[in-house]
C-alpha cells in the first residue's frame, strides 16, 4: 500500500511499501527523481513528526525499513567516519542537524556498523518513538518520496 500525506502546505510525501516495487537506496532515489520528487528530506521537526505519525498510525504498512533522502557523501561510502564524527547529508546538500535528529535515532544509532552503513532509514518496528537507523544501501526496502507543492 502507498500513502500520501501533505506537510505544511509545501510538501507531499509518498510512502512506497508495495513488495513488487521495493528498491535499494540508489534505485529508490532514482525512482523518486523520475517521478519529479526526491527521497524524503526530513530536515524540519514538522516534516519528521508528520511522517512518523503517518507511519505509526497506518497499520497497513509492513514492518520494513523505509529509505530517507540522507546519506554519507558517496566518496566516503564504506569507510570509517572522519574523526569519528557522523557525516550524513540530506539530498539537498545540507548536513543533518544533530540537535534536531537526536531524539529520533534508535538507541546505539547511528553507528556506521562495520563502516558500511551509508544511508538512513525509518523503521516502523524499532519502537516508533525512535525509528531512525543507519543501514546498508543495498538492502531491498520501502522508501519515502517527497514532492514539492510550490
Share of the chain above pLDDT 90, in %: 35
Q: Which residue has the cell 507531499?
A: 12
DSSP string, 26-48: HHHHHHHHHTT-EE----SHHHH
Q: What is the spatial distance between Cα 80 and Cα 147, in angstroms, rounded to a whole number?
A: 33
* Digit-coded pLDDT (tens) for 67-82: 999 998 877 777 776 7
pLDDT at residue 61 greater than cutoff 80: no
Q: What is the pLDDT of residue 23?
A: 95
Q: Average pLDDT, stretch 31-56? A: 90
Q: Over the chain, what is the mean pLDDT?
A: 83
Q: What is the pLDDT of residue 86?
A: 73
pLDDT at residue 1 greater than cutoff 60: no
Residue 14 burial (CB < 10 Å; 0-12/13-18/19+)? Answer: middle
* Digit-coded pLDDT (tens) for 104-116: 888 777 777 777 7
Cell representation of residue 106: 534508535
* Digit-coded pLDDT (tens) for 139-148: 999 999 999 9
Q: What is the spatial distance between Cα 29 and Cα 63, in angstroms, rounded to a whole number?
A: 21
Kindly provide the residue ranges of all beta strands, DSSP E only, lying in the chain, ordered along the sequence. 3-7, 11-16, 38-39, 65-71, 89-90, 119-123, 132-135, 142-148
Q: What is the spatial distance between Cα 135 and Cα 127, in angstroms, rounded to a whole number?
A: 17
Global confidence as pTM: 0.86
pLDDT at residue 138 greater than cutoff 60: yes
Cell representation of residue 4: 500520501
- Cβ atoms within 10 Å of 142's Cβ, excluding its own: 23
What's the CATH class of domain 3-148?
alpha beta
Q: What is the spatial distance between Cα 80 and Cα 102, in angstroms, rounded to a whole number?
A: 20
Amino acid at each position: 500500500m502507498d500513502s500520501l500525506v501533505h506537510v505544511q502546505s509545501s510538501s507531499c510525501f509518498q510512502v512506497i511499501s508495495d513488495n513488487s516495487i521495493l528498491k535499494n537506496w540508489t534505485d529508490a532515489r532514482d525512482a523518486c527523481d523520475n517521478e519529479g520528487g526526491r527521497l524524503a528530506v526530513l530536515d524540519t521537526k514538522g516534516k519528521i513528526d508528520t511522517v512518523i505519525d503517518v507511519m505509526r498510525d497506518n497499520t497497513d504498512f509492513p514492518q520494513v525499513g523505509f529509505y530517507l533522502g540522507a546519506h554519507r557523501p558517496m566518496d566516503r561510502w564504506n569507510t570509517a567516519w572522519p574523526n569519528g564524527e557522523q557525516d550524513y547529508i540530506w539530498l539537498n546538500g545540507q548536513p543533518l542537524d544533530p540537535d534536531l535528529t537526536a531524539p529520533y535515532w534508535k538507541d546505539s544509532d547511528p553507528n556506521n556498523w562495520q563502516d558500511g552503513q551509508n544511508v538512513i532509514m525509518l523503521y516502523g518496528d524499532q519502537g516508533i518513538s525512535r525509528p531512525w537507523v543507519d543501514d546498508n544501501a543495498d538492502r531491498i526496502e520501502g522508501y519515502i518520496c517527497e514532492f514539492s507543492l510550490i
